Chain A
Amino acid sequence: MIFKRLKNKYATIIIILSILLIFCIGLFATIGTANIKVADTFKIIFSRFPYIGDMVDISGVSDSYKTIILNIRLPRVLLGVLVGASLASAGTAFQGMFKNPMADPYVIGISSGAALGASIAIISGIEINFLGIPSISFFAFLGSIITVFTVYFISKVKGKVPSTTLLLSGIALGQFFTAIMSFLMVLYTKDMEKIIFWTLGSFSGKGWEPLIRITIPTIISIVFLNFFARDLNIILTGEESARSLGVEVEKVKIYILILSSFMTSMVVSVSGIIGFVGLIIPHIVRLIVGPDHRILLPASALVGGIFMIFTDTIARTIISPTEIPVGIITALFGGPFFIYLLRKKKREI
């Protein structure tokens, strides 16, 4: 029957994308100034796995390569995967929830809110450790959650969130927060460099520590977000219908807002603001797999991860040895894409 075929189709897509992601991790960890072979990269990685590690022979690989791969490239690539997956998942959820193709954590100002929160934490030097989350991440979360609810309530007109009000209020609030952040930078010049980093977004020089810190919270929230796939599908067919079908629309929206803001602020607190990933990826994936969030959400997460490490590789190799902040690369892809979407939408109207 068709549903069986459908399930198999979804499983196939996930498996293919997962394999592709693993391959890309290996590939992009290899590319760079040091001349390492892809096969060696995989050997180095696998040698660190329990059980299978003993079977991998890495005697032929130089120790400096091992250090580069294990201590620099691998954590960087994995962090990229996590950031990309989170931003793409949040973007997918926002676009579904707002029934609006323009929604993404960056465009609607969440990233700016998170960066402002993080800046305040840096400047004030407050050290609170809330549930094991360091204060920078906690403040980033606070900033993003305040932003998302403010934007949501400003742009809500008669129970709907139209594109124009959503974009305008998101941009306005985002700019407002960025202005406050700039002001803080002027006041606290000693932290300026640290703060500028938030506005550009980069993965450089992070090592394992931040990665380990955000892995579990982000993965859990991505998984939880997927449990709302069916609700999102029904919300897409109209909110009146959704309510009558037993979806607690307002509650679901709030859960999704919190989950998405949470994962966004987690990754932003480590990587800084990286725009447009949450906008482009859901679109491209939707074109390929259709609007069903049961496949759209996981596929977007995987493709988001791949896209992120791809752009990061460009960022650090294109004018090597100088590194460009990855946010610039995504914006170079995203800007034109955003304009294309606006044009397309205009034509539809």
Chain B
Amino acid sequence: MNYALEVEKLSFAYRKQLVLKEISFFIEKGQFISIIGPNGSGKSTLLKNLSNVYNPESGFIKIYSKDIKKYRTKELAKNISLVPQDTTISYDFTVFDVVLMGRFPYLDRFKKENEEDFKIVTEALKKTNTFHLRNRNINEISGGERQRVIIARALAQESEIIFLDEPTSHLDINHQIDLLNLLKQLNEEKGTTIILVIHDINLACRYSDKIILMDKGEIVSKGTPIEVVTRKNIEKAYGLNVIVEQNPYTDSLYIVPLSLNSGIDQNKKKDKKIHVIAGGGTSGEILSKLEEKGYDISVGVVNVGDSDWQLAKKLSLDIVDERPFSAISEESFKKNMESIEKSDVVILSSIPYGEGNLKNLEAAYNGLKMEKKVYLVNNYTKYDKFDYTEGEGLKILESMKKDGLIIINSIDQFTKEG
């Protein structure tokens, strides 16, 4: 196979503490790879091992099928280059001089740079759009420009693999996109293999062919963004509840963080079971806030494809669902009632009612009759009209009020009272 990089059982220790634990993976030539993971997961350490800054404790790293230790230092520098996390240079070298340093592996100790070297450096400067900076001092230019200059130096090194350690972490959003576009361009035009450590999962999804997700010195998952960036994996690595969505504008995945696992109140609330009667996209806030507090939630009856249904799916809640754009069947109604029976509390969101979903309101009323606490989160003021059943829905709601329906204005009122 055409592997640019092969890693086998790589372990690395820092003061006798294992930071990387038997890591193995392959990277094909010409791919754009992101290494992600929480702080202290070992992602930067992995990159430094791969780029020969650190020497692994055990295991193999092969660059183009040859053991990294068997390369001479200069020979290796012709194959791999590194853009370190900290690119500050506190000496007054000109941009041109810095990029010219990229030619070091090609120069004999007793030889001077020739025309060819200058040509390559000039091209690298132009490619990274830094040619106009060539006579400026490296510590006079902005952070984004300096990143580009260091990338130009990597280009002058003419290596086919470029490692970058958190290249976007000190940049503004516009410079982040600018930089990643440049890397993608190099990747696509010259077939350069790009391997970078990055914090931003959304950017990683947007630009990478493959993602390596790390936690505690081990690989949690590796593969395409779709394979790696899942609700389960992110929860495992980051301890974070997220929603993974498809970004409609860039067609890439993106995550929306909801809550930290550690932030969930583990005490009494976890065992309280809540059934939310939802539909028509009325329950987004209710579901995510209840989820955040750590309640055991079920949802019903919602139509497949409804945005409440989508959210409930992403949050992996128990769902009683009905076929899309169909009225609630007797069967779903029964299931809904079963869910209500098992719950301690029923929360009714401000659903507009028609013939198709009136059964949801009836289910809520049944709950009240079973002496469950039933709350209505009242957002009806938003509507001109919410009852499309010629008064029937309104009638049920009125009798529910008499029978002890608790009306609250927002879900926060409920969560605060507990």
Contact = CB atoms under 8 A, between A and B. Distances in A.
Interface in B69-111: 73-78, 80-82, 84, 86, 89, 91-93, 96-98, 100-102, 104-105, 107, 109-110
B104 A234 contact: yes
B96 A246 contact: no
Contacts of B92: 290-291
Interface stretch (B47-55, B263-271, B343-351, B352-360): B47-55
B245 interface: no
Contacts of B53: 240, 243-244
Given A246-B76, A247-B104, A237 B109 contact: no
The 8 A-B residue pairs with the shortest CB-CB distance, nearest first, are: A246-B77, A244-B82, A246-B105, A291-B91, A246-B74, A240-B84, A237-B89, A245-B104
A246 to B, nearest CB: 3
Interface residues on B, range: 35 or more
Interface in B349-404: none
Interface in A220-246: 227, 230, 233-234, 236-238, 240-241, 243-246
27 contacts: A1-B118, A2-B134, A227-B110, A230-B101, A234-B101, A234-B104, A236-B89, A236-B91, A237-B89, A237-B101, A240-B82, A241-B84, A241-B150, A244-B52, A244-B77, A244-B80, A244-B81, A244-B163, A245-B104, A245-B105, A245-B153, A245-B157, A246-B73, A246-B76, A248-B73, A290-B92, A291-B93
Given A230-B101, A234-B101, A245-B77, 4 more contacts: A233-B101, A236-B91, A237-B98, A246-B77
Determine which residue in A3, A236, A245 has the highest number of CB atoms from chain B within 10 A of its CB, and name it: A245
A1 B98 CA distance: 17
A238 B83 CA distance: 11
A323 interface: no
B8 interface: no
Determine which residue in B74, B104, B113 has the highest number of CB atoms from chain A within 10 A of its CB, and name it: B104
A1 B100 CA distance: 14
Interface in A105-121: none
Given A230-B104, A246-B104, A247-B73, A237 B81 contact: no
Contacts of B52: 243-244
Interface residues of A, number: 21
A227 B109 contact: yes
Interface in B116-136: 118, 134-135
Contacts of A290: 92-93
B93 A238 contact: no
B113 A241 contact: no
Determine which residue in B89, B101, B134 has the highest number of CB atoms from chain A within 10 A of its CB, and name it: B101
Contacts of B78: 246
